[in-house]
């Protein structure tokens, strides 16, 4: 990935080949040979080491690129609803005695009993 | 002659009590247990109900009672006492569930609007007053 982000710094080495030393002495970088000719010059060696170090240092940063925000809204809504239900229950527990004695507040409406099903008329 | 250490401490404690004492007396929530509050509310319930039935007092959309007509000082005092107790209750529950007392009041207002009998004056969420049918 770093090779794609920093092609010039890593000498154009593709992702799969990073860290491997090429078997042949074919040029890998942009116009710069790697291998024997590189080893022969002290400056080229230093430059190669510098590139390697740069790539190695930048490698851990690759994980920081694609961080997606976590969606937390639905969880928040559920928590709010649960808290409201709890508060409602607590308020009911406290005010139920007062409401029962009050003449202006009706007691809690209980679900009406289901009427018995009408008898099915017998077939003639 | 220098004052002793004990004398100095007791003097400082007296000053601290004089400063902090009144502030604590005004603290509403947590000072009175809920069972005592409920007894106060039950005691004033018949008078409050009478005012609500006559239309002098209505239930607003914040979970409190409000004087709507001309009820005199007695009605105003009764409403003020009731609202004080309700505010304490809402504050206690709000602390318990880590929310604003106003939110608890709103929940109670909704419940009162649901359970109130016909003829009672209620305040809608938009602020308008209506008589429950």
Work out the percent of chain A whose per-residue pLDDT is above 90.
16
Number of domains in chain A: 1
Confidence class for position A41, pLDDT limits 50, 70, 90: low
pLDDT digits (tens, 9 = 90+) for A73-86: 777 777 777 888 99
Confidence class for position A111, pLDDT limits 50, 70, 90: very low
Is residue A58 assigned to a domain? yes
Q: Where are the domains of chain B?
A: 29-131
pLDDT for the residue numbered A114:
45
Under an 8 A CB cutoff, do A86 and B104 touch? no
CB B52 within 8 A of CB B113: no
Confidence class for position A62, pLDDT limits 50, 70, 90: low
Q: What are phi and psi of B36, to 5 degrees?
A: -70, -40
Under an 8 A CB cutoff, do B34 and A94 touch? yes
Q: How would DSSP label each residue in A7-40?
A: TTTTTT--GGGTTPPPSS----SSS---SHHHHH
Nearest to A101 among B42, B115, B117 (CB): B42
Is residue A30 assigned to a domain? yes
Asked if the model's pLDDT at residue A19 lies above 50, the reply is no
Residue of A nearest to B132 (CA): A104
Please indicate, yes or no, whether the overall pTM of this predicted structure exceeds 0.80. Answer: no
Is residue A48 assigned to a domain? yes
Sign of CA dihedral B57, A91, B84, B128: negative
pLDDT for the residue numbered B89:
95
Confidence class for position A50, pLDDT limits 50, 70, 90: confident
The whole domain housing A49 covers 2-64
pLDDT for the residue numbered A79:
73
Q: pLDDT tens track of chain B, all 133 residues? A: 455 655 554 544 444 434 333 333 344 555 678 889 999 999 999 999 999 999 999 999 999 999 998 888 999 999 999 999 999 999 999 999 999 999 999 999 999 999 999 999 999 999 999 999 8
Is residue A35 assigned to a domain? yes
Rounded distance between C-alpha atoms, residue B111 and residue B114, angstroms: 5
Is residue A27 assigned to a domain? yes
Secondary structure of residue B66 in the 3-state scheme: strand
Which of A27-36, A66-75, B108-117 is predicted most confidently? B108-117
Under an 8 A CB cutoff, do B107 and A87 touch? yes
Residue of higher predicted confidence among B59 and A122: B59
pLDDT for the residue numbered B5:
53
Q: Which residues of B touch A103 (CB under 8 A)?
A: 49, 53, 117
Is residue A124 assigned to a domain? no
Asked if the model's pLDDT at residue A13 lies above 70, the reply is no
Rounded distance between C-alpha atoms, residue A121 and residue A123, angstroms: 6
Task: Single out the residue of B55, B68, B111 nearest to residue B86, CA to CA.
Answer: B111
Rounded distance between C-alpha atoms, residue B95 and residue A112, angstroms: 36
Q: Which residues of A touch B45 (CB under 8 A)?
A: 98, 101-102
Rounded distance between C-alpha atoms, residue A106 and residue A84, angstroms: 22
What's B78-98 look like in SS3? HHHHHHHHHHHHHHHHHHHHC
Asked if the model's pLDDT at residue A47 lies above 90, the reply is no
Angle between helices B34-54 and B72-97 (to 10 degrees): 140
pLDDT for the residue numbered A69:
77
Mean pLDDT for A19-40 is 48
Q: How would DSSP label each residue in B2-21?
A: PPPHHHHHHHHHHHHHHHHH
Rounded distance between C-alpha atoms, residue B48 and residue B1, angstroms: 64
pLDDT for the residue numbered B1:
46
Is residue A73 assigned to a domain? no
pLDDT for the residue numbered A55:
81
């Amino acid at each position: 990935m770093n090779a794609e982000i920093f092609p010039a710094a890593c000498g154009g080495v593709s992702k799969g080949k990073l860290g491997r030393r090429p078997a042949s002495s074919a040029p890998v970088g942009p116009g710069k040979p790697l291998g024997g000719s590189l080893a022969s010059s002290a400056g080229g060696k230093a430059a190669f080491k510098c590139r390697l170090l740069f790539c190695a240092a930048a490698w851990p940063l690759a994980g920081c690129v694609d961080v997606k925000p976590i969606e937390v809204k639905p969880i928040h809504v559920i928590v709010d609803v649960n808290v409201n239900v709890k508060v409602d229950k607590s308020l009911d527990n406290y005010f139920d005695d007062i409401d029962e004695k009050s003449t202006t507040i009706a007691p809690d409406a209980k679900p009406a009993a289901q009427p018995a099903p009408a008898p099915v008329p017998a077939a003639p | 002659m220098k004052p002793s250490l004990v004398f100095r401490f007791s003097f400082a404690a007296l000053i601290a009590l004089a400063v902090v004492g009144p502030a604590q007396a005004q603290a509403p929530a947590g000072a009175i247990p809920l069972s005592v509050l409920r007894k106060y509310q039950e005691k004033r319930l018949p008078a409050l109900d009478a005012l609500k039935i006559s239309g002098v007092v209505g239930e607003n959309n914040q979970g409190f009672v409000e004087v709507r007509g001309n009820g005199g000082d007695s009605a105003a005092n009764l409403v003020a006492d009731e609202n004080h107790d309700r505010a304490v209750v809402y504050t206690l529950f709000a602390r318990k569930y880590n929310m604003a007392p106003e939110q608890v009041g709103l929940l109670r207002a909704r419940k009162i609007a649901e359970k109130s009998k016909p003829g009672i004056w209620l305040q809608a969420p938009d602020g308008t007053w209506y008589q429950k049918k």
